[in-house]
Every structure is written in structure tokens, then in C-alpha cells.
Amino acid sequence: MRTFRKQTRGALLTGLILLLGTWMVGPASAAETGVGADDPGYKKCVRCHDEESEHPVLSILMTKHGVVADSRTPMANDACTTCHGPSQAHMDDDALPPDVTFEEKDASIGIAQCQSCHNGKQLMHWQGSKHQMENVACVGCHSAHVAQDPVLDKTTEPDVCLTCHQDQRASLTKPFRHPLREGEMSCSGCHNPHGSTSKGNLVRNTVNETCNTCHADKRGPFLWEHQPASEDCTICHSPHGSVHMGMLKQRGPWLCQTCHMANQHPSSAYSGTGLPGATRPSGAQQMLGRNCMNCHGEVHGTNHPSGARFTR
């Protein structure tokens, strides 16, 4: 009785240790002990490709693709060969590549492979999008063999995009910019990398709708609309960053003066000419050296009854 108990306890303990080991050591041992390990599509590859090989690949078991309990995943189907194809030639001679390598040269084969499962709402606008047209493959952004795909993490996503988008990389070094480097938001806060119905792959149909998903206070309709603000925020702002405060394209008063010429009002707030009441020294003095926004603080539009000039 005693010995029996001891044995059972021993077995239980071993089981527990195995389980713990699996959990702690991670994918490799999970694979050896776990479900799916017997799958021929798995077995025949991991003989040569494991966590110790030159290109470790088993972290895929820690991703959604590795969830065997989910019957839709590659690992629940033919494991490695679901994505890479049966690859008989590679099995016979490992100097020959497997059927699908996801390399750039056969981008379309790789994309078709991913799209055999991913063809729903998320990728509705992929066909015809800039990335699709320019042959950027799914793996141009996604990584299959890491526990956490960097492009799916807000803090690391921009780095993936910036490997190709050098202009935006440069903009993000400017002093006034969105908090991307801080991980508070990412490119996909404004862009849908899989394509969209708007110009520039924006997440909404227009620039303004896109900006207003976060800047709701700038969303009209206002009693007094400022035409450019209701038309397109990027008339005045550079969304990727700027050397001017407030991410403005130009500094005031020049920004305003690209449209507002001197008629009844000053053409330059830095000189006294043309100022209202310029004949009175105090009037000129009031304007001199001041920015348009000191008085017209509500350039995005306002609901104040006497805000027609965006002064309140």
C-alpha cells in the first residue's frame, strides 16, 4: 500500500515536472510531448529543423498558428507542410528548396499560401492596394517563426514599416511628431497596411475622418467652420512630423498667409503696415511680432455665437 502510494505519487510528480518543464522550456519540448508532434507534416521537418538549428523555427508553436486545439490553424492541419507544401524534393535532397520558401522571388506563391486561409474582412482591400501592386508579400511585414510577430506590436510595428519607408523614418526624427517612438500609437493608427478605400491606405475614407478617430474635438460640424480645417487637416499639418510647433507645415503667420492676403488685415504681423488701427501706435504695437493664432485661436472652427472670426 505504502509503496503503491509512493509510486503513484512519484508518477504524479514526474508528470508534473514534465508538464512544468514543457511550460518552462518552451516550444521545443512542448512539441516533443504535445499534440501534433505525431503529425507526419511536422515530424518529417523537425528531424532537421528545430530550435537548435541555424534558423530556429519552433517558436511558431507559441503563436496562434501553433494552436493545435484550433482546427483552422496550420498546426492542426498538416503542420509545417500546410504552409511550406509537401516538399518531397527537399526531403529527398535538402540542397533543393521546399515547395514554398516565402522568399521575395516567389512572393505571389507565398501570398497565395497565406491567403488560402486569410481572405476575409481583414484583407478585403488587399487586391489592388499599393503594397499588393508593388509586390510586397505578407512576409514583407509578418514573421511566422517568432513568438511575437513584431508588426503586430504597437511598440515595434513602426520599425518594420520604416525598414522600407525612409521618408517617414526621417520625419519621425523631427521635433514635433506623433508619439510613435513612445509606443503610444503606431502607423496603423492612421493606415491600414492591407489597403483601404481611401487615398494613402488610411483607416477611414478621408484624412479628416482618420484624424478625428482620435482628435474628436476637431470634428465638426461647427457653427463657424474654417474651410481648410473641414476640408483636410494636412493642409496645415504634416502628420509624420515637422520642425514647426504643432506639427504645422509652416510657422504662423506664414502658414495663414499662404491663403489670407492683405486686404483688410495685415499681410505680416511682423510689420506695422496694414494693421487695423495702424495709425494708432497702440494698435500697431498690439499686432507687431504677434502670431495670427494669438487672436484667432480657434482655427479649427468654433461654436461660439460670436466666433465668426475664430477669435473665440
292 interacts with ligand HEC by CB under 6 A = yes
91 interacts with ligand HEC by CB under 6 A = yes
26 interacts with ligand HEC by CB under 6 A = no
Minimal distance, residue 243 CB to ligand HEC, in Å: 11
Radius of gyration of the chain (CA): 30
Give the Cβ contact number of residue 273 at 10 Å.
12
Give the Cβ contact number of residue 160 at 10 Å.
21
Count Cα atoms within 13 angstroms, Cβ side, for 20: 6
Cβ distance to ligand HEC smaller for residue 10 or 175:
175
Q: What is Dmax (Cα atoms) for the chain?
A: 111
Residue among 32, 94, 153, 209 that touches ligand HEC (CB under 6 A): 94
Residue among 286, 288, 307, 312 that touches ligand HEC (CB under 6 A): 286
Contacts to ligand HEC from residues 215-244, by CB under 6 A? 215, 218, 226-229, 233-237, 239-240
Minimal distance, residue 24 CB to ligand HEC, in Å: 20
Minimal distance, residue 19 CB to ligand HEC, in Å: 22
> Which residues, including other chains, have CB under 8 Å from residue 190's CB and lie 6 or more apart?
202, 203, 210, 211, 239
Cβ distance to ligand HEC smaller for residue 13 or 245:
245
Cis peptide before 253, with omega less than 30 degrees from 0? yes
Minimal distance, residue 20 CB to ligand HEC, in Å: 23
Pattern 99-138, ligand HEC, x by CB under 6 A: --xx--------x-xxxxxx---xx--x---xx--x-x-x
Residue among 27, 39, 59, 151 that touches ligand HEC (CB under 6 A): 151
Size of the site for ligand HEC (CB under 6 A): 134
Minimal distance, residue 180 CB to ligand HEC, in Å: 6
Contacts to ligand HEC from residues 265-284, by CB under 6 A? 265-266, 269
Contacts to ligand HEC from residues 68-87, by CB under 6 A? 70, 72-74, 77, 79-84, 87
Cell of 260: 489670407
Minimal distance, residue 107 CB to ligand HEC, in Å: 10
Minimal distance, residue 25 CB to ligand HEC, in Å: 16
